[in-house]
Structure 1
Amino acid sequence: MLDEDVTRIPNYGIFKLIFYLTSLGRIFGALGQTWCGKYYKEEHWGKSRTPYGSFQRGEDPLGPLFAFQCVPRMQFYVEGDDCASSVSVLVDTLTTMTPLRHASPLPFPVASITLSMTLRLLPRRQPFTLTCSAELESDSSANEMLVTSSPLFYLPSPTSGSATSIDRKTGALMTRAMNGTFQAVFPIGFYTDFGGYLAGNLSILDEIRSQGFNTVHPVPPFDNMTAFNAILDRMEDLGLYLISYQDSESVSAQVKSLKHRKNLLLWYTADEPDGPGDPLTATRAAYDLIHELDGYHPVSIALNCADHFFEDYVSGADIILPDVYMIGNNVTFSTKYNTPCTKDFGCCGCDDCEGRFEDVSKRLDEARNRLRILGWDKTKFIWAVTQAFGGEEFWSRPPTGREWLVQVLLSINHGARGIMPWIDPTPIDIKQYASTLAKLLPDLVPYFFDGEGSFTHITHGTVDVGIWTSGPRALVLATNMDTHASTFPLPYGEIKRGILWLLREGVSLHSTSALAFEPLGSAILILSHSEEVLKTVTLEHDEL
């Protein structure tokens, strides 16, 4: 029988791996309510209420734990793909003192392996289950066995439309063209107003494409379906990817009408459900329904709260977009509700924020760490919603172009693999900086998504740096989070062969071995640690 098909992997010394393919069940959550679990209106001031729904990290273990994960490298495989006949499997083992949900108190050695197995299956819509067994071989006692499983999707080739899978090793979205080839995509594009902007002028899409953006996320309500369909048609013509916002009351009808679009990138089912406290089952229910109706595109949600039922809402998403809006607002007193904002009271537009750029990196780091504890770090990924608005509600002003760029580079350095600013129309200087970055993506993507490369993160004072090394070259994203000048020593010491500057905003060479940053300065550059001579090139944002 198909479900009994077994592929055995040879003994790799410390453990043996056995793969089984079976069917899969479903998981559902619980229920919750209110804005991040806190009172926030003036009439509630003085009432005591402990915020609820915080993430349960678990107790620290008494001894080392062994964490064992085994997942298909791709979110799904499609019949006819180049890689479908040989499935890569990501196998991670880790000895840790962190209370990971999937860890056991076994003193296994540390190892990380990527294996391939031949797929002897017929494609189908229902998932198989990949089951991996790790066996600890011991000369003095009985062998120990640990088992973990993960769904494996091998889908029939779609009869129309697109397919978007996720490369779980790199976090890249892999979009499938109608000719069957896949390409890696780093999505960059704005949430974009529909009724007051896009609906009135189709040429806006041409301008967006010429500015280098590859994605548009139209924001409802879509009260003019003639204009909406014309927009989607034009996006297809221009090669702009679509992120489709699903109304919770009509998910079925919307998915059926849009899943055949050739430029559909992914679904978006919930915008800040953790704020007002949507039912905890809502995101998972929408996820399961969309998978049943489509199954060829990931599902995303945006989260607003620092810590409110994270596990429940995220259970219904493949991609999580934290939105951290800390520029131009008073994070200790709500100008909208005329109340203080504390750990257990208030809403200031940026939950549990300090009004610093570190709020962005902290939120992304916390989300990634929670995914790791839950055992979801190989199957769910983080993007960023950067602030590109102001002058309303809590925010007295929008970010400057430099401030927007700091948010973006900080987000990428802390794991974001897609950038979706809120909202377009946006100030001109933000759009200029965003366009510059978008046009640079073809040079950056090979570093971000090099499965054999390495990544190093460094914080040097107020300078945040990400370094992607691929072969003899290293891509460097560096940004100064402070309103004071700073410096950063370059990782390869004295520069003798030049720097390939891709973007330089308030950054210069300090001697020949360090970068000097103006307040809120940022740079993207390529260094070489070989005999290769790099041509020195500078692209400033106002040249594009």
Structure 2
Amino acid sequence: MSFKLENMRQWLVAAVMLLTPNLVLAFNAPADVPTWCGKPYMSTNQALDPGGQFQFPTPSKDPLLYLTVQPRYTIFLESDEAGSFIVDASISYTFGEPLQNVNYQSPNHPGVSLDFKISNDENRVLLVSNSIPVNSTGNLFSFPLSAFTPRLAPYPITIRGTLNQQTFTSTTTLYILPSRTYGSAVKIDNLHGGLYVQNPHNNYEGWYAVFPVGYYADGGYVTPPNTSFTNLDTYAAQGFNTINIVPDGGLPDQSYPVSSLQTYWDHLDALNLFNLYDMRFAFQNSTRISTQVALWKDRPTLLSWYTADEPDGYVSTLFR
């Protein structure tokens, strides 16, 4: 079975590469011309149209209602007090559905509101029922987390709005995860932006904001066999709260010496200094990604996974 699946995967990859050559060719530049983001940068090369430009849709002549829903945060934990959704009902000339039988003349037109319901698609449980003004954004509505069983898989969510017997729908996914007692949990605020963390620093109670301030560090320098914490302590004392340790591309697996990084990361945990774990040499290889994630996913100061590094510049392919 695995042999057949692998053959099928290879066939699909080959088919995609044949049908969509822009995925594997460096834009329009000749193969012998060095480029960055598809553009020649040497003074000895002539400029050319790199291709790959965005194709913008033709705007609608009439206003469209663009109804969207998304969780306030990228994740919720079962220990959180409540969840919340962000509901937008903006007027657009690019996205959305045409407004029918609505005399909508300006963004400030009063008296036009949209009734809506938000439901869990798995069991049809109603989570929110309310209304919002048309062309309003950032509307927040809470819902009880007790309506969900914590799990790793997302829940499918649908919003259905009605306006003058016209129906508008949109979908999203919602993560309700089990509470943490180890490692770290990090969520993104989908309304205002920003990161919030839960880890041993706050005894896994509530969340605290982290505004990342830090630098790259050469992995070959900061994780040698004879690890020293002098520079790291000085770095933290200057107020930096994050670090990106660039892996050693010269090592056989282009990663880190595991024992050295474990020792170094133990000190990061003691300082509550967050690591943006870097997998820039592994992002095209799912096996290497899985191995590295399994090694480091439970570290208390893991802030994020740094995957590709400027892949548009290198014109990295998505297949390997």
Compute the TM-score of the two structures, normalised by the length of structure 2: 0.69
Matched, 1:277 2:315: yes
The correspondence for 2:258, drawn from 216, 221, 225, is 225
Given candidates 126, 129, 142, the residue that maps to 2:156 is 129
Separation (CA, whole Å) in 2 of partners of 1:233 and 1:131: 43
Question: Is the counterpart of residue 115 in structure 1 residue 113 in structure 2?
Answer: no
Q: Tell me the SS of whatever aligns to 1:195.
A: helix
The answer to whether structure 1 residue 255 and structure 2 residue 293 are counterparts is: yes
Q: 1:281 to 1:121 in 2, by over 3 A?
A: farther
- Residue 235 of structure 1 and its aligned partner are, at CA, apart by 0.6
Equivalent in the alignment of 1:205: 232
Tell me by how many angstroms 1:280 deviates.
4.5
CA distance in 2, matches of 1:80, 1:272: 37
Distance 1:276 1:60 in 2: 34
1:64 Cα deviation after fit: 1.7
Is 2:70 the partner of 1:71? yes
| Aligned positions, number | 242
Please say if 1:165 is aligned against 2:190: no
Residue aligning to 1:175: 197
Q: Is the 8 A contact 2:182 2:199 kept in 1?
A: no
Q: Give the direction of change, closer, same or farther, for the CA distance of 1:80–1:110 in structure 2 (3 Å limit).
A: same
* CA RMSD, 1 decimal: 2.5
- Aligned CA distance change for structure 1 residues 118 and 37 (closer, same or farther; 3 Å): same
Given that residues 36 and 274 in structure 1 are in contact (C-alpha distance below 8 angstroms), is that contact kept between their aligned partners in structure 2?
Answer: yes
**Kept in 2: contact 1:90–1:169 (CA 8 A):** yes
Q: Secondary structure at the match of 2:270?
A: helix
Deviation at 1:42, TM superposition (A): 6.3
Which residue of the partner structure matches residue 194 of structure 1?
219
Residues 219, 256 of structure 2: 8 Å contact kept: no
SS of 1:271's partner is coil
Q: Which structure 2 residues correspond to residues 403-442 of structure 1 after superposition, within 5 A?
A: none
CA distance in 1, matches of 2:211, 2:154: 27
Picking from 86, 90, 101, the partner of 2:86 is 90
Structure 2, unpaired ranges of 5+: 1-15, 27-35, 105-111, 113-133, 249-254
Contact 1:74 1:165 in 2 (8 A): yes
Could you tell me which amino acid in structure 2 is paired with residue 166 of structure 1?
I
2:313 aligns to what SS in structure 1? coil
**Does structure 1 retain, via aligned residues, the 8 Å contact 2:212–2:242?**
yes
Please give the residue correspondences for 1:42-81 in structure 2 after superposition, counting only pairs within 5 Å: 45-46=45-46, 49-81=48-80
Higher RCO by CA contacts (8 Å cutoff, separation 6 or greater): 2
> Which string of whole-angstrom CA distances, capped at 9 and with x for unpartnered residues, describes residues 345-378 of structure 1?
xxxxxxxxxxxxxxxxxxxxxxxxxxxxxxxxxx
Deviation at 1:198, TM superposition (A): 5.5
Answer whether contact 1:192 1:198 (CA < 8 A) is retained. Answer: no
Question: Structure 1 280/87 Cα, relative in aligned 2: closer, same or farther at 3 Å?
Answer: same
Partner of 1:38: 39
Map of 1:355 onto structure 2: none
Q: What is the alpha-carbon distance in structure 1 between the residues aligned to residue 239 and residue 37 of structure 2?
A: 36
Aligned counterparts of 1:33 and 1:160: Cα–Cα separation in 2? 44
Alpha carbons 2:83, 2:142 under 8 Å: kept: yes
Distance in 1 between the 2:274 and 2:218 partners?
Answer: 16
- Which amino acid in the other structure matches residue 293 of structure 2? V
CA–CA distance in structure 2, aligned partners of residues 158 and 54 of structure 1: 44
* CA distance in 2: counterparts of 1:168 and 1:55, whole angstroms: 25
Match of 2:176 among 139, 154, 176: 154
2:191, 2:302 → 1: CA distance? 23
The 5-angstrom pairing of residues 427-466 of structure 1 reads none
- Counterpart contact for 1:73–1:167, Cα < 8 Å: yes
* Superposed displacement of residue 220, structure 1: 1.2
Deviation at 1:192, TM superposition (A): 1.4
Structure 2 distance, partners of 1:172, 1:197, is 28
Identity of aligned residues (%): 32
